[in-house]
Amino acid sequence: MRIGVIDLGTNSIRFEIHEWVRPGFLKCFFRKKVMVRLGQDVYKTSQLQVEAMKRTEDAIVQFKRESSKLNVASIVGAATSAVRDAKNGKFFIKSLKDSTGISLKVISGIDEARLILKGIRSFEPLATGVFSFVDIGGGSTEIGVARDEQIFHLESYPLGAARFAQMIDAYPPDANRLFEIRRQVRKVLGENVGFKEWPKVDFILGASGTVKALMKIMKATGEGRKIPRKALAVLVTDMSKFSLAEMAKIPGMEEERVDLILPGAIILEEAMDFLGAKKVFRTKFALREGILQEELERLQLASSRYELEEVEGMTRV
């Protein structure tokens, strides 16, 4: 059986096709990401923009074509912060269903956090004992601390790379704007009653494009396969002084994230401070895998933990 999974975020839309082979074993043989920037200006206007909705619809039409070619039995998916925060979000999801036949569920922040945790637990080998995750999206950030099947804390916060990028109108950024971003992050995290009582962790499993992009920079600058807290602080200080052109020249920088990387890095830096973490390791597993696992459970095909194989020569865009 082949299952398609769509993750419609604030910055990008991602689509994967997985084949259920047997209990405990899946194959992923198609993966595509399109930076549709659905959240363009949404945190300023509370409205999804016409051009952003058109980019997203075009991407989903492409996904449906690929699904037909590859005999996908079902497509499941979720829309997150940009859609749930926009006044015309529900209208857009209905319009998508009418035009493409694909129904996406608009999930709440806490449901997004729950599914991210489910995806990490089901697929990530490092998710053993007490572990923490941070998933920095375009419009929200999900944070959790768990041990095996026990959840200590699980939250979703209105903190996102695109949300804060829309507060920066020039580069190098005005110092007062950056101070305000950091103040807002600290205020939102600090308002969570009992946050400082969360178990402290040595490291964080970092999901999302922000962590992936920061990891590339760390690798290019010799830090290896982790993001150390001290190195992240140095990078944030340096980026705070750069123009966009200078930012683009940072070794390992992803061109599509030049305007998002600084606010995303600030959120990660503050999250590390609150959790007491000294380093971040990237996990490839998050919301999409949680959606997939839930669909497998619905179909009564799920195992408690899966091995996920990427087929050699897999289509990857």
Residue 42 near residue 79, CB atoms below 8 Å? no
93 lies in the same domain as 210: no
**Is it the case that residue 191 has pLDDT exceeding 60?**
yes
290 and 266 in a common domain: no
Maximum CA extent, the chain: 55
d(CA 229, CA 220): 17
49 φ/ψ angles, rounded to the nearest 5 degrees: -80, 150
pLDDT band at residue 314 under the 50/70/90 scheme: very low
213 and 307 housed in the same domain: no
Q: Are residues 144 and 278 in the same domain?
A: yes
9 and 88 co-located in one domain: yes
When divided into structural domains, the chain yields a total of 2
Specify whether the CB–CB gap between 280 and 203 falls below 8 A.
yes
Query: Is 253 found in the same domain as 310?
Result: no
Determine the 3-state secondary structure of 225 from DSSP: coil
**Range(s) of the domain holding residue 82:** 2-109+286-316
Q: What is the pLDDT of residue 225?
A: 85
Q: Which residues contact 220 (CB under 8 A, 6 or more apart)?
A: 250, 251, 252
For residue 129, the model assigns a pLDDT of 86
Q: Is residue 213 part of a domain?
A: yes
For residue 186, being part of any structural domain is answered with yes
Q: Are residues 75 and 155 in the same domain?
A: no
Do both 182 and 203 map to the same domain?
yes
The whole-angstrom separation of Cα 275 and Cα 132 is 8
Three-state DSSP class for residue 245: helix
- Residue 178: in which H helix or E strand, if any? helix 175-191
Query: Could you tell me the pTM of the whole model?
Result: 0.92
Taking only Cα atoms into account, the Rg of the chain, rounded to an integer number of angstroms, comes to: 19
The CATH number of residue 201's host domain is 3.30.420.150
Could you tell me if residue 117 is inside a domain? no
Which tokens is 116 given?
């991210």
**Domain check: are 158 and 267 in the same one?**
yes
Residue 223, pLDDT score: 83
Instruction: Let me know whether 255 and 212 are in one domain.
Output: yes
| Residue 159 forms part of a structural domain | yes
